[in-house]
Structure 1
Amino acid sequence: GVASVAISKCCQVSDVFTELCIASRTKSKCDALAAKLAPTTRTKITTAQVDADDVQQLCDLINSYKPDLVMNIALPY
């Protein structure tokens, strides 16, 4: 949905978004999107599984990846 559009747009600006980590509860969906985008971008794309309701999982992912920017593109519940 919205996340795939946002990620696609980021990948269009590879000089700004040189690396992306796509994370979701369902890693296979992240892997499929990464595989779809890989031939069209210079952005290095990695994927991860994370439950956004689990604060410790989020902290662990952020601490391991050390991103400059975190975008939470999810349903507003």
Structure 2
Amino acid sequence: LKAVLPNPQDLGENYDGETSIGCRIRGKKDGKERTYYVYNNCKHQEAYNETGMQGVSYTTGVPAMIGAMMFLKGIWKKPGVWNVEEFDPDPFMEQLNKQGLPWHEVFDGDLEID
């Protein structure tokens, strides 16, 4: 497969547009129907200008780096085996903002997709 796929580094210069990564959540809180949307958009050209790679590589590498940093600094540390989803997300989310992937929230918005 590697032999037929392009090298991601060769794609960045000509990419246009942006990535959009988010979670749409619907449920009940305190007996009321609620919706929540958290998302990040990343422009390919801005990612390329900063790193020489397109936005998909940027949005893959930055969160992985932040996760590693959380472990190395001891921010995410518990005895035993844990999934990253079991640790406090707040330091991770704070770092996303600082490391170039700012996120946004929409509370009780229309989450329907046409």
| TM-score, normalised via structure 2 length | 0.24
Q: Looking at secondary structure, tell me which structure has more helix per residue.
A: 1
Structure number with bigger Rg: 2
| TM-score, normalised via structure 1 length | 0.30
